[in-house]
Each structure stands twice: as structure tokens, then as C-alpha cells.
Structure 1
Amino acid sequence: MKTLDRYIGVRFIQSFFLVIFILVSLFSFLEFVAQLDDIGKGSYQLLDVFAYIGLTIPRRVLDMVPMAALLGSIIALGMLADKGELIVMRASGLSVQRICFSVLATGALLMLATGILEEYVAPPMEQHARLSRSLAISDTGILLTKDGFWARQGNSFIHVGKTLSGGIATGLDVYEGDKEGGLRAFIHAREADIHNNKRWVLKDIQKKVIEEQRITTHNLPTMALESFLSTEQVNILELPPDSLSPSDLYKYNQALRQRGQNADTYVLALWQKLAVPLTTGAMVLLALPFVFGPPRGTTIGLRITVGAMVGIGFYLANQIIGYMGLLLELHPAITTLAPVAAILWIALWRLRQAP
């Protein structure tokens, strides 16, 4: 039985990677064509376009995973059906439920990989890509690093980890210099309100003042600091909610709520990301009726076509329902998980009707 599970799982993974490669290549090419219009703006050049496309590939992979899971399952099982292998399996006493379990076991591994990619891989790469592109086009002179960015004002330098919509910056380090080029003080702040283009408000601060014979440390709840960035620069550096990891979205949602600001877009983005692995599993389950449900003789091409239409329809409906929910003030968990629940119900209902 383990040999059979491996055989079905390998066929599914092969089909999945074929579909994901085709879809990601197609959408990467379309993005490449769109980026060509920005070449020549500021210091943005062709090599920057290639870097942007490469760094955003993990995000496109995540966007395509549910669709690829659906089509990959249909292709894998459809080919087994066309070659008569499914008939042999069932003739040997293997039930439809047991074959479905083999596919779902591999789908569970795919769900786990999707969650890891969503949390640890795609967000930092996409954030770096977005910031690099924005800074190159605007040519602000801000220095971007893998951990954030650097800016200068007179004899002082600042390093900021992230900037988010709503005027929130996190992980700030300020180095205040004197006229001789020495370090006069170091300030670390957990976060700051930077929406004011003249003065920032730092929070949870540790300030170290360097004197001739000693270093004095001060812990302060808040502190005002002259702004290092203009309003235009802040807008350029802001990271959209969909570029953040689920854990970061949760943290910034809490921070916005503590400030009394609207966090609905962050909550929606969080639930959409949490739903990706669940949607992937639902799509794998939905693929099974396409193989065991249709009349015998249905071609694999027709199965793939119908599956693609269902996948596209689900993607569009999911996006529309999510943003409609914001307008109607429905909780994002309901609008995000309801389509997944509907897919699961339809898949299970169709499977129960399978011969």
C-alpha cells in the first residue's frame, strides 16, 4: 500500500510542478512586460527589472498554488484513468476513498510547504523587491539593505526595519553624531509614528548618551525626533499588507488597534494568507470528483478545461467576496473561509455520488 501511495503521490507532484512552472512563467513574463514601461525612471534599469521579477517569484508561486493543486490533481489522476491504471487499482479491491487518501496525503505535505513559504520565504524577498524598485524609480538616495534602509540628516543616521501604511515604522536605530564625526548618542525604538513630516514620535525607547568617561542609559516610553524623511519618501517606503508574513500582519494589526486606527485591510490580508494552505487542500479534494464523477470516456482535456474555469472562478470570487466584506463590515474570517468551506462541501458531496 505504501508503494501505491508513493506512486500516486509522485504522479501528483510531477503534475503540480508542471502546472506551477507554466503558470509562474506566464505571469512572470506578463509582469516583465509591465515593468519595461518604468525603465529609465530614476535609476531603474533592465537589470533591476530582472532582479524584481526574480525576487517576486515566490509570491507568484503562492498565488498560483491553489490553482496548480487543482489542475495537478486532475492531470495526475486523469492520466491514470486514461491509461486504465485506476480501473486496475479498483479491480484489485482499492476503494475510491483509499485512492483519494493517497492524493490528500501528498496534498497535506503541499499545504505544509505552502505555509512555510508564506511565512519565511516570500515576504522578505517581496519586500526587498518592492523597496528596491520604488527607491530606484524615485532615486531618493536612501540606502536599502536586507534588514531595512538607512537615511541621513546632518550628522545623524537612522536605520529603519520596516515602514507600514498608517505611518508605522518598526525597529528604529538612530546614531547621533557630533561635529567632529564622533558618536554622541545611540537611540533604539521599537516603533514610531512617522506620518508627520516634521516630527516623529518614537515609542519604547532605549537611549544611550556617550560622555567622556561613561555611557548613560535612559529608558523612555516616548520621545520626539525630527523627521528624517519627507511625506513622499514615507509613502514610497511603505509596505502594503499583502507583502507581509502572517506573523507580521498579526503584530501590526495589534499595533494599529492599540492606536485606535482601522486595521481591516491587515486583518483581511492575514486571513487570506492563513487560508492559502486550507484552499490548497480544498482544491486537491475538489479535483477528485473531476476524475471519479464524470462519465467514462470524458477526455483529460475537458477535465483540465473545466478545472481551470472552476479555479479561475474561485480565485475571482474569493477576491470579490473579501473586499465586499470590508465594505459590508463583515469579519474577514467569514468572507475568507466561507468560499473554502463551500468548496469542501461541494467536493465531499460530489465524491459521495461517485460510483
Structure 2
Amino acid sequence: MKIIDKYLLQNLFIGFLAAAALLLPLFSTLDLVSELDDIGGDYRLIQAIEVVAMTLPRRMVELGPFIALLGGIAALGQLALTQELNTLRAAGISAARIGLSTVLAGALFAVALAAVDEFAASPLQQKAIQLRTHALASTEGNGKDGSIWGRKDQQFVRVGGLRLGRIPTHIEIFSFDGNQALKEYLFADYADIESEGLWQLHDVTVKRWVEGNETVEHLDQMTWQSVLPETRLQDVALPANSLSSRQLYHYIEFLKGTTQPAAQYEVALWEKLGTLLLTLAMILLAVPFSFSQVRSTGLGSKLALGAITGLLVYLANQIIVNLGILFGLVPMLVGTVPALVMLVFSISLILQLDRKR
């Protein structure tokens, strides 16, 4: 069986490479076309190409289940066309045993995707976002790249954006009393981040309300103890899907510690596990596709049907995730249950092949 396992693994990984070689250039071209609309000023074509190239590992991770399905269908389908799968079954090897070999290939592929996600896709995507943001901000004549919110006790802070990816700008600080009445409002044009969480605020306006009376004070500089996380501030401004598992975990801990909603980031963290499980489910789904009647369904038709199935699974998963966030469902279930359901469904189809034999 070791020889057969190695032979199946070899063919499956060739199938993965073929599927990746087909899908990645296609989706990268679509990404580049979408970037062309924003080209102008300091954001040039060469930068757009660089952004698309840096997001290529993230695209591969996102397409991982799709690659597993199409690569598995291509590899096993070719073996079915040459009657090798039928020979294996005639020799007493069950569809479940062949499925076990595909699971091994899928597990190795999933582990590789997880490593790419953690150590390549996330860092490169973050650099791409920062490159794109800085170029567009310069073109549009402003330094804002999205608001950042923080909270500690009765103090709320809003950072309007990050200049050069590291200098907080347009800072607003709201302080409330025990009756939830606003007692102090502070606005600073920008800040220099110092050690131990201290910020040196510049061009500061402070408004205070005491017994119905308002006072306004203007300061050139002011020291403020930040309530934002000690991690890199630019990480906080990045979208959840661009963060690595470690970044998500630390930011979730910060949000929970400051009683802020963290569901979106928790779902993003569990989705990483869900993607790996979905990859296993899709490679297993390739087995029943391959055992269908070769004469009635050619390899091209199987690949087309697999592509449609993969697209429907992807859309269903995205709908479930967004509905889960909207209705406040348990993040662990939102991120993993769709993949688990698909995994059980794929296993049941393989077991049904053996019962029909």
C-alpha cells in the first residue's frame, strides 16, 4: 500500500500544481484590472503590479479549497480515464482507502497553506495595503487611511489615520463621567509615540464642561497615556483577513480587555481553521467525482462541475460567515461549522460508493 499511497500523492500534488497554475494567474489578472481604476498620481502601474504580486500568497490561501477540489478531480479523474482507479478497486482497495490517501495529500497541502498564511501571506498583504494606502493618500492629498478606535474605562479615543503608516493623526479623545455625560473632549493634530505607551500630542485643543460651563484651552504639546494596544499601531488599522493568527489573537485579547466588540476578529481567527478543514473536505469531494461513470462524464465536464461546486461552496460559506457576524452567533461555530458539514458530507459520499459496490 505504501507504493500506491506514494503514487496517489504524486498525482494529487501534480494536480494541485496544475490547478494553482490555472487559477492564480486568472485571479491575479482580475485583481490587477480592479487596481487599474485607482491608478493615477503617485499610484502608478508598477506599484499596482507590485501590490498584486504581494497579495498573491493571500490569494493562494483563499483559493486553497478550490485548488484542492480541482486538483483532486484532475488527478483522480485522469487515473479513472486510464482505468487505474478501477484496477485498484478490483484489487480489493476500497474507495474509503483511496480517500484516506487523498486526506493525507489534503492534510499536507493544508499545513503548507497554514504556513504560507502565517509567515508569507499576512506580512506581504499588510505591506501591500500600506503601499497602496500611502500612494493613494498622497494622490488624494490627505493622510487618512481609516479610523482606529480604543476604549479604557470611561475614556474613548479615535485616531483618524496613520501618516506614513506610523504617525497617528486627527486624534480625538472623549472622557465621560459616571453618569455617561461628556466631561472632556480633546483634539490633537498628530502625535509622536514614545516609550511605555506615552504619546506626545501636538497642536491640542481641550474642551471641558464643569457644571454647565464650557472652557477651551489650546496647547502646543501635551503628554497622554495611550489606551491603544502596545502592538504596532498600524496592525490595528488593517482589515481582519490580513492579520496572522498571532496578530488576531493579541488584538482580540486587547478588545476584550477594553470591553469592545471582537466578534469580527474572532470569526476571522476561526475561519483560518475552517479553511484548513474545508480544504480536506474539498479534496475528499474529488473522490466521488472521479468514480462517476467515465463514459457519461468526461474529465472536462467533471472539472466544470467541480468549479461550479467550489464556487457555490465558497459563496455559501461567505454568506454564513456574514450572517453569523450580523446575528452575533458563536464565532467558533460560524468559522468552522460550514467546513465540518462539508467534511461530513464528503465522507458520507465516499462511504456510499463502497456500499453500492
Contact 1:62-1:118 within 8 A present in 2 as well: yes
1:59 corresponds in structure 2 to 58
2:17 corresponds in structure 1 to 17
Instruction: Please say if 1:8 is aligned against 2:3.
Output: no
1:226 corresponds in structure 2 to 201
Letter in 2 for 1:327: L
Q: Secondary structure at the match of 1:239?
A: coil
Contact 2:73-2:290 within 8 A present in 1 as well: yes
Q: Matches of residues 1-355 of structure 1 in structure 2 within 5 Å?
A: 1-41=1-41, 43-139=42-138, 165-166=148-149, 196=173, 198=188, 206=195, 223-226=198-201, 238-292=237-291, 294-295=292-293, 297=295, 298-354=297-353, 355=357
Superposed displacement of residue 296, structure 1: 5.1
Superposed displacement of residue 295, structure 1: 3.8
Q: Secondary structure at the match of 1:139?
A: helix
Going from structure 1 to structure 2, the CA distance change for 1:310 and 1:227 (only over 3 Å counts) comes to: farther
Equivalent-residue separation in structure 2 for 1:14 and 1:93 (angstroms): 26
Higher mean C-alpha deviation, range 68-77 or range 269-278: 269-278
Superposed displacement of residue 302, structure 1: 2.3
Tell me the TM-score normalized by structure 1.
Answer: 0.75
Superposed displacement of residue 59, structure 1: 0.7
Equivalent-residue separation in structure 1 for 2:336 and 2:100 (angstroms): 23
Letter in 1 for 2:119: Y
Tell me the TM-score normalized by structure 2.
Answer: 0.74
Contact 2:192-2:201 within 8 A present in 1 as well: no
Equivalent-residue separation in structure 1 for 2:246 and 2:172 (angstroms): 24
Equivalent-residue separation in structure 2 for 1:278 and 1:164 (angstroms): 34
Equivalent-residue separation in structure 2 for 1:245 and 1:236 (angstroms): 10
Once the two structures are superposed, what CA deviation does each residue of 1:45-65 show, in whole Å capped at 9, x if it has no partner?
111111111101001111111
Once the two structures are superposed, what CA deviation does each residue of 1:89-119 show, in whole Å capped at 9, x if it has no partner?
2222322222222221111110110111111
Going from structure 1 to structure 2, the CA distance change for 1:139 and 1:50 (only over 3 Å counts) comes to: same
Percent identity reads: 35
Going from structure 1 to structure 2, the CA distance change for 1:195 and 1:14 (only over 3 Å counts) comes to: farther
Letter in 1 for 2:149: G
Q: Secondary structure at the match of 1:28?
A: helix
Higher mean C-alpha deviation, range 46-55 or range 131-140: 131-140
Letter in 2 for 1:14: I
Q: Secondary structure at the match of 2:200?
A: strand
Q: Secondary structure at the match of 1:261?
A: coil
Superposed displacement of residue 201, structure 1: 9.3
Equivalent-residue separation in structure 2 for 1:164 and 1:34 (angstroms): 24
Contact 1:24-1:60 within 8 A present in 2 as well: yes
User: Which portions of structure 1, spanning 4 or more consecutive aligned residues, are displaced by more than 4 angstroms?
Assistant: 193-197, 199-203, 234-237
Superposed displacement of residue 32, structure 1: 0.9
Equivalent-residue separation in structure 2 for 1:262 and 1:289 (angstroms): 42
Equivalent-residue separation in structure 1 for 2:259 and 2:344 (angstroms): 38
How big is the alpha-carbon RMSD for the aligned residues of Structure 1 and Structure 2?
3.2
Once the two structures are superposed, what CA deviation does each residue of 1:245-265 show, in whole Å capped at 9, x if it has no partner?
011101101101111111121
1:216 corresponds in structure 2 to none
Once the two structures are superposed, what CA deviation does each residue of 1:26-50 show, in whole Å capped at 9, x if it has no partner?
1111111111122213x11111111
Structure 1 gaps, min length 5: 142-150, 152-162, 170-190, 207-219, 229-233
Equivalent-residue separation in structure 2 for 1:90 and 1:325 (angstroms): 42
Superposed displacement of residue 325, structure 1: 0.8
Superposed displacement of residue 224, structure 1: 4.4
Q: Secondary structure at the match of 2:149?
A: coil
